[in-house]
Structure 1
Amino acid sequence: MLGILKHLDDGLSVIERQLLGWSIVIMAVNTVANVIMRLGFSSSIFFSEELNQFLIILVTFVGISEAARMGRHIRMSAFTDMLGPKSGKIMMIIITTGTACLLFLLAWYSVDYVMSLIKSNRLTPALRIPYYFTVLWVPFGLTVTGIQFLFAAATNIFKPGTHLSYRVEDTFEAEDHHL
């Protein structure tokens, strides 16, 4: 089972890293070009802000999946750190499963929002593209992040140790926590 998860995770990781990398490059080029246009020609690129807003949404909602994959999400571990290894593992299974369910619920609501935008026929002001194109990344990002948390739950069920994600085991190293 974990072998199948690894292949799915590897495929998602390639897609996400490409999307994130290219989005950041395009955002940087767009921003620099807009600054040059403003300073050199006293005129902005008319779609620059709109494009960057779209890319920020993409980076945010695709980036949360990558953060979850690498165990870099925010977590409150004071309580689980006080538990023993077995109880901590059970809590991690409950937390990752609950988080996945919440993310899938949010993805469901975001699909409903996208559908309402499709029906509204709203267009973006500068590029005049359907507005729903700019938020399609929200349900995608929430769904793949939910999948990451399901991977983490499955890893905690089938592998020894406590895992923050499919790839990252939770470790407590006393030397990293000096007071």
Structure 2
Amino acid sequence: MKLFWKIDDLIALITEWVLASGVLLMAGLLICNVVSRKIFMKSMASADELGGSLLILVTFSGIGYAARKGRHIRMTAIFDTLPHKVQKWLMVFISFVTMATYIYVCFIAFEYIEYTKMLGKVTSALQMPDWIRAAVVPVGFGLGAIQYFMNIIINIKEPELYIGTEKTAGGE
């Protein structure tokens, strides 16, 4: 199990770098494109495409990261009024349903990638195969599913209520 947690820590570190780099690259690229349009009256043809690709990367890379940090969307009006033991088992149930949903979406995303490959669709400016942009979607949902699986494990093993593998319901 220790190896599992070490791998999780490595994935978190890589994800943090991907997210930070993606946001910085996207901001830099799009700012350069605005400056180019205003000063030189010419837009960079690939800027929107690359910006969109980076947005997809950041969005779907962030799924597992948000689950790990307990930063996913939660509605707690009823949940918070329940006894601790009920909250714990409800969190395990919610994590299981979310994990199963993410796994299902992974399979759908793989089917979409295969369909896009079959069509031979490419992006307009860079002529990059469109399936490459979509490849991050199942990875993001897969990492999210792993995080929810780990949330199930930690909530079963530990007495505290964990809303993410790094965050207890008390905010620690």
Fold similarity call, TM over 0.5: yes
Secondary structure, counterpart of 2:162 in structure 1: coil
Secondary structure, counterpart of 1:67 in structure 2: helix
8 Å contact kept, 1:5–1:151 = no
| Distance in 2 separating the partners of 1:124 and 1:80 | 45
Secondary structure, counterpart of 1:78 in structure 2: coil
Q: Is there any run of 5+ residues in structure 1 with no aligned partner, and where?
A: 173-179
CA RMSD, Structure 1 to Structure 2 (Å): 1.1
CA deviations 1:130-158 (Å, max 9, x no partner) are 00111111100001011111111100011
Secondary structure, counterpart of 1:105 in structure 2: helix
Pairwise CA distance, 1:80 = 1.8
| Distance in 1 separating the partners of 2:166 and 2:43 | 44
Task: Note if 1:115 corresponds to 2:114.
Answer: yes
Give the TM-score normalised by the residue count of structure 2. Answer: 0.96
8 Å contact kept, 1:20–1:63 = yes
Aligned position for 2:131: 132
Task: Note if 1:53 corresponds to 2:52.
Answer: yes
CA deviations 1:62-83 (Å, max 9, x no partner) are 0121111100100112222121
Aligned position for 1:159: 158
Secondary structure, counterpart of 1:164 in structure 2: strand
Pairwise CA distance, 1:165 = 1.3
Pairwise CA distance, 1:5 = 3.4
The size of the alignment, in residue pairs, is 171
What pairs up with 1:52-71 in 2 under 5 angstroms? 52-71=51-70
Task: Note if 1:103 corresponds to 2:114.
Answer: no
Secondary structure, counterpart of 1:106 in structure 2: helix
Q: Give the % identical residues.
A: 30
Q: Is there any run of 5+ residues in structure 2 with no aligned partner, and where?
A: none
8 Å contact kept, 1:107–1:138 = yes
Pairwise CA distance, 1:4 = 3.2
